[in-house]
Amino acid sequence: MTQPDAQTLQRVTSALRAQRIETPSWAYANSGTRFKVFPQEGVPRNPYEKVADAAVVHRLTGVAPTVALHIPWDLVDDYADLAAYAGDQGVRLGAINANVFQDNDYKLGSVTNPDPGVRRKAIDHLLECVDIMDRTGSRDLKLWFSDGINYPGQDDIRARQDRLATALRETYDRLGDDQRLLLEYKLFEPAFYATDVPDWGTAYAHCLELGPKAQVVIDTGHHAPGTNIEFIVAFLLRAGKLGAFDFNSRFYADDDLMVGSADPFQLFRIMHEIVRGDALAPEAGIAFMLDQCHNIEPKIPAIIRSVLNVQEATAKALLVDSDALAAAQRAGDVLGANAVLMDAYNTDVRPLLAELRTDLGLDPDPMAAYARSGYFERIRAERADGQQAGWGA
């Protein structure tokens, strides 16, 4: 692999400088599995402390200036005040995640529930989340529905799609001009027979029906094993319907592990389609978000490591010699084309990223910088009392 020339390095570093990764408030709080949620020292006790931790990740990486909220996990009296506090910390409030999956009334579904009263309650929550966006200045309403059924015949699959479409339409029509609705799909869990938004095709069809302000979210942990996620990325990008990612990684199901930890090559292939689709820059409108749960590992370092993993996959994707690749593809040179991609993937981009951080006035090694910062020791002492925040499952 020839060393990238100066022009390539310039192109790659300026794209990496502009990269923006959104971190999730809930990843800083306690989370776990249905078997156990392990508390950790220093965990935030409220959304302000979650925002403060997200700000540390941005200060150390330089590329994580927004934090996604989850309602009601991040319920506060004054969202404008929380947004102002975030600003003081050097970050902004990002996507607003609705939650219609934890209320007892939603046992048989939220917006798809057979009971019109329950559907009304769920839609009202979605509309309340748009009200919150008006106060936080957030662009994106992110919708994931746990809705589904566990046994054949439990409910009418088609009727549930009608109910879903009705709820999405009412919510879509409430959006402001600069606001978007991001629809997330998931193959299964908590429903184990049929999920109402199980795959990208269903999400894509509903977003097409809704209009230009409706886009699809790809959560990298929400597919059947063996799914070619970069194909979905290429397809939705081509259709102009890819709105966001929930990045994480998994060995088996929705494991919500650190992105790039289970399959860094898959993350590279995904970012290759993003770069090939000219969709990396913030202006392209794709929200690159993390959606992870750090059940046993220290949370802030896990998020920093995840941001670095996305940067590394992105740097490798930006190093793909697209002219050589196109030439090999045109020539039907199967191995040659594959080799061009593998050359980029097998490039150690850590020195390039360390140099970029130094140029940005940051420590070249954010993980070491965090360990030396004393921030953990400070929050461990400050947050020793009070109720740690969690996902209330």
Contacts with ligand LRH, residue ranges (CB under 6 A): 26, 97, 144, 184, 186, 219, 246, 254, 291
Q: How many angstroms separate the CA atoms of 299 and 63, rounded?
A: 18
Q: What's the min distance (Å) between Cβ of 40 and Mn ion?
A: 21
Stretch that binds Mn ion, among 18-26, 216-224, 255-263, 354-362 (CB under 5 A): 216-224
Cβ-based nearer residue to ligand LRH, 49 or 184: 184
Q: What angle do CA 308, 312, 315 make, to 5 degrees?
A: 135
Residue whose pair of structure tokens reads 């048989």 in the numeric block: 108
Cβ-based nearer residue to ligand LRH, 144 or 375: 144
Q: Is the CB of residue 21 less than 8 Å from the CB of residue 63?
A: yes
Helix or strand run (H / E) with residue 69: strand 66-70
Cβ-based nearer residue to ligand LRH, 26 or 268: 26
Q: Is the CB of residue 255 less than 8 Å from the CB of residue 222?
A: no
If contact means CB under 5 to 8 A according to the sort of partner, which of ligand LRH, Mn ion, none does residue 269 touch? none
If contact means CB under 5 to 8 A according to the sort of partner, which of ligand LRH, Mn ion, none does residue 254 touch? ligand LRH
| Residue 246 within binding range of Mn ion, rule CB under 5 A | yes
DSSP per-residue letters across 162-191: HHHHHHHHHHHHH--TT-EEEEE--SSSS-
Stretch that binds Mn ion, among 2-10, 112-120, 215-223, 383-391 (CB under 5 A): 215-223
If contact means CB under 5 to 8 A according to the sort of partner, which of ligand LRH, Mn ion, none does residue 247 touch? none
DSSP designation for 228: -
Q: What's the min distance (Å) between Cβ of 101 and ligand LRH?
A: 7
| Residue 219 within binding range of Mn ion, rule CB under 5 A | yes
Burial class (CB in 10 A: 0-12, 13-18, 19+), 263: middle
- CB contact burial 210-228 (16+ within 10 A = b; e otherwise): beebbbbbbbbbbbeeeee
Q: What's the min distance (Å) between Cβ of 294 and ligand LRH?
A: 13
Q: Per-residue x/- marks for Mn ion, 276-305, CB under 5 A?
A: ---------------x--------------
Q: Is the CB of residue 233 less than 8 Å from the CB of residue 242?
A: yes
If contact means CB under 5 to 8 A according to the sort of partner, which of Mn ion, ligand LRH, none does residue 140 touch? none
Q: What's the min distance (Å) between Cβ of 184 and ligand LRH?
A: 5
Structure tokens at 377: 């020791």
Cβ-based nearer residue to ligand LRH, 144 or 370: 144
Which stretches of the chain bind Mn ion, using CB under 5 A? 219, 246, 291
